[in-house]
Amino acid sequence: MPARQPSKPRARRPRSQARPYHHGDLRRVLIDAALQLAAEGAEVSVREAARRAAVSPGAPFRHFPNRDALMAAAAEEAQRRFRAEIEAALSEAPATNPLARFRAFGLAYLRWAMRNPAHFEIISTGRYFVHGSSAELTRDNAELIALTEGILAEAAGQGLLRSADLKRIQIAGRALVYGFARMNLDGHLPRWGVEAGEIERMAEGVLDLFIAGIAKP
């Protein structure tokens, strides 16, 4: 009887490699999903953002423990986009003309709010989360206020304003652009005879009327 051949050792199967995660930046994808949900008027939740991102329901919680954290990050992103719009507009305005810079600031604010109503809603109201919970958002808002004050202080220094009360002018300007943006967002402008195709031109005209009112003749 032939000798039994020793059995060959079984080749070990290579350990399965972890499948690469298909999102390069899950945090960014979740923020974009939250912004898109808000833009659609849908309920924003961490789980729904995960579904939009095509990941497991538990995956987002490594980045956002709850809805408030997700909405704070979404607001910070919306604010960054808003700030970029402001800075781009100011870069094209005459550096030595503060009222032209103030106009560029206000018009960029209005245009951004009108073209991104859901993002404007997120950063300007407490509907989605408590704004004070985001240090970044608080700091950025303070910087924009300081920027506005600086532009108006420069205008006052050049003797361009009717009044030296910069705080009152600043608040009036804020009320103007915020109020117009809210009127548009809440659908009030058609009741005032402003059709959709006229809104941006009307915003520009209202802003020019305000600047004419605060400027010395």
Percentage of the residues of the chain whose pLDDT score is greater than 70:
89
Q: Does the global pTM surpass 0.85?
A: no
Cα distances from 89 to residues 22, 96, 128, in angstroms, run 36, 15, 28
What pLDDT does 187 receive? Answer: 93
In whole angstroms, give the CA distance from residue 122 to residue 73: 11
Amino acid at 118: A
Q: Which residues contact 110 (CB under 8 A, 6 or more apart)?
A: 177, 180, 181, 200, 203, 204, 207
Say how many residues make up the chain.
Answer: 217
What is the model's pLDDT at position 24? 62
Q: Alpha-carbon distance 96 to 34, whole Å?
A: 40
| Eight-state DSSP code of residue 131 | G
Long-range CB contacts for residues 139-145, cutoff 8 Å, separation at least 24 = 140/76, 140/79, 140/80, 140/83, 141/79, 144/83, 144/86, 145/170
pLDDT digits (tens, 9 = 90+) for 122-165: 888 877 778 777 888 899 989 999 999 999 999 999 999 999 89
Is residue 12 very low, low, confident or very high in pLDDT (cuts 50, 70, 90)?
very low
Tokens of 92: 């094209």
